[in-house]
């Protein structure tokens, strides 16, 4: 990760707020994923951080991509648009999955010429895909347990296991090809049993489909959820990988292609936010620091991602106390943290930094209240 000295120097050179992305860490995270899950092809979830420079680094490293909108698709497509038609189409089929189960008709029409692989989870989507994107290949997304995930997804997406094969056969009946299954165990899943349950469920549906005469499925998308090491309570990735590898080897023959959609795991630890203290007050006996970044900007994950980002000061020694940290806007919602251990003698203009903030953060920055997003600095790109 970026050193404290380098962070401070970058802030002095560029001002604050800053969002510093270390591309060496991106490459390290991708290599770690490949090392511990050798059978699984990583499709980076672009929504985690759609900065084109990040996408470029993963593209050059050999990563595939999970996109959920046409703007995300086009961020990836810019790197392959100059390929010959056949090579480009092969790349799209093998390297991009459009993993949003619900798609607008206009989106399907725009996708159709690319002959994409798309997910679905309901009968209405079958009718839409048949009408507006008949060249697409399909993956049925299953509803699976999300117990203990930081962000639960199963209430919004996923076909019930009991109707999964009926839904596969319904797509086949209208001339669409279901290439495989997909699932998502919930974002930042520290409950590894979610993967065990989902993989066993998917295996059963593969067998049921074959038993009912459908033999065209050759891939399994095990989704995202791979946890970033935000704190010591997150067990090492290698332990999760050991569990997944065991179940994959036990349940799925080698001819089944396995892919995954890591987003947070690949990008979270690769970025650090640097902010400046712009205000200081004591309210009801509690010290409060106000910084030039907040939940409408880099710290948006506090609101919608249920994430708690911690702060560090550049002051190395001395006592600390529990403080609140607020963002710069006039909105009372702009509360970054109510429980931070920080030195009580920090002054206006002093800097704070927050590590492991690469995922679901700057990607959602706004211009609320007229405050612009943090400046993005790429190092080792």
Q: What number is the average pLDDT over the span 31-40?
A: 97
Q: pLDDT band for position 154 (50/70/90)?
A: low
pLDDT at residue 90, rounded to an integer: 80
What is the C-alpha to C-alpha distance for residues 345 and 319, in angstroms, rounded to an integer?
Answer: 9
Of residues 308 and 176, the one with the higher pLDDT is 176
Which pLDDT tens digit goes with each residue over 196-214?
A: 999 999 999 999 999 999 9
Joined together, the tokens standing for residue 306 give: 């249920």
**Residues in CB range of 275: below 8 A, 6 or more apart:** 16, 17, 18, 291, 292, 293, 298, 351, 352, 353, 354, 374
Mean pLDDT of the chain: 93
Q: What number is the average pLDDT over the span 264-278?
A: 97
Q: What CA dihedral angle connects 293, 296, 297 and 299, to 10 degrees? A: 80
Q: Which residue among the candidates 288, 307, 323, 330 is catalytic per the annotation? A: 330
Exposed, middle or buried, 35 (CB in 10 Å: 0-12/13-18/19+)?
A: exposed
Percent of the chain with pLDDT over 70: 97
What is the C-alpha to C-alpha distance for residues 58 and 270, in angstroms, rounded to an integer?
Answer: 12
What is the C-alpha to C-alpha distance for residues 242 and 249, in angstroms, rounded to an integer?
Answer: 11
What is the C-alpha to C-alpha distance for residues 275 and 328, in angstroms, rounded to an integer?
Answer: 11
For residues 234 and 183, the answer to whether their CB atoms sit within 8 Å is no
Q: pLDDT band for position 89 (50/70/90)?
A: confident
What is the C-alpha to C-alpha distance for residues 114 and 93, in angstroms, rounded to an integer?
Answer: 8
Name the class of domain 4-19+269-379: mainly beta
Residue 145: is its pLDDT beyond 70? no
Q: What number is the average pLDDT over the span 282-306?
A: 94
Q: What number is the average pLDDT over the span 234-241?
A: 93
Q: Which residue has the tokens 């672009």?
A: 46
Residue 311: is its pLDDT beyond 70? yes
Paired residues of 141 in beta bridges: 182
Q: What number is the average pLDDT over the span 311-339?
A: 94
What residue spans define the domains of the chain?
Answer: 4-19+269-379, 23-268
Strands, E, within the chain: which ranges?
18-22, 40-45, 64-67, 96-98, 117-120, 137-141, 149-151, 177-182, 187-189, 219-221, 257-260, 271-283, 286-291, 312-313, 321-326, 335-342, 351-354, 375-379
Query: How long, in residues, is the chain?
Result: 381
- Cis before 276 (ω within 30): no
Q: pLDDT band for position 83 (50/70/90)?
A: confident
Paired residues of 20 in beta bridges: 272, 377
Strands 312-313 and 351-354: antiparallel
Q: Is 330 labeled as catalytic in the residue annotation?
A: yes
CATH architecture of 23-268: Alpha-Beta Barrel (3.20)
Residue 156: is its pLDDT beyond 90? no
pLDDT at residue 88, rounded to an integer: 82
Q: What number is the average pLDDT over the span 147-171?
A: 81
Strands, E, within 145-184: which ranges?
149-151, 177-182
> 3-state class of 136 per DSSP?
coil
Which pLDDT tens digit goes with each residue over 10-22?
A: 999 999 999 999 9
Number of neighbouring beta carbons within 10 Å of residue 16: 22
Specify the pTM: 0.94
Q: What number is the average pLDDT over the span 283-300?
A: 96
Residue 128: is its pLDDT beyond 70? yes
Q: What number is the average pLDDT over the span 58-68?
A: 95
Q: pLDDT band for position 253 (50/70/90)?
A: very high
């Amino acid at each position: 990760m970026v050193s404290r000295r380098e962070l401070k120097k970058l802030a002095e050179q560029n001002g604050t707020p800053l969002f510093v992305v270390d591309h060496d860490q991106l490459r390290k995270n991708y290599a770690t994923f490949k090392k511990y899950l050798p059978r699984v092809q990583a499709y980076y979830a672009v929504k985690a951080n759609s900065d084109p420079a990040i996408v470029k680094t993963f593209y050059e490293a050999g990563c595939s991509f999970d996109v959920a909108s046409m703007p995300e698709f086009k961020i990836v497509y810019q790197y392959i648009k100059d390929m010959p038609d056949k090579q480009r189409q092969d790349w799209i089929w093998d390297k991009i999955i459009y993993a949003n189960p619900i798609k607008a008709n206009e989106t399907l029409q725009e996708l159709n010429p690319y002959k994409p692989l798309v997910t679905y989870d309901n009968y209405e989507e079958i009718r839409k895909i048949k009408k507006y994107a008949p060249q697409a290949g399909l993956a049925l997304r299953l509803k699976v347990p999300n117990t203990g995930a930081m962000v639960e997804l199963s209430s919004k997406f996923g076909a019930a296991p009991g109707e999964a094969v009926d839904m596969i056969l319904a797509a086949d009946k209208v001339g669409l090809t279901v290439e495989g299954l997909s699932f998502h165990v919930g974002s930042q899943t520290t409950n590894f049993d979610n993967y065990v349950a989902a993989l066993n469920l998917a295996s059963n549906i593969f067998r049921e489909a074959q038993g009912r005469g459908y033999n065209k499925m050759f891939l399994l998308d095990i989704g995202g959820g791979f946890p970033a090491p935000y704190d010591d309570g997150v067990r090492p990735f290698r332990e999760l990988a050991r569990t997944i590898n065991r179940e994959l080897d036990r349940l799925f023959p080698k001819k089944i292609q396995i892919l995954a959609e890591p987003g947070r795991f690949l990008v979270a630890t690769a970025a650090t936010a640097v902010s400046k203290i712009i205000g200081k007050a004591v309210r009801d006996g509690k010290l409060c620091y106000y910084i030039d970044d907040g939940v409408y900007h880099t710290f948006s994950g506090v609101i919608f991602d249920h994430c708690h980002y911690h702060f560090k000061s550049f002051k190395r020694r001395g006592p600390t106390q529990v403080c609140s940290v607020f963002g710069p806007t006039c909105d009372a919602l702009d509360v970054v943290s109510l429980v931070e251990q920080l030195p009580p003698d920090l002054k206006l203009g002093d800097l704070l930094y927050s590590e492991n903030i690469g995922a679901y953060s700057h990607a959602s920055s706004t211009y609320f209240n007229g405050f612009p997003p943090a400046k993005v600095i790429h190092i080792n790109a």
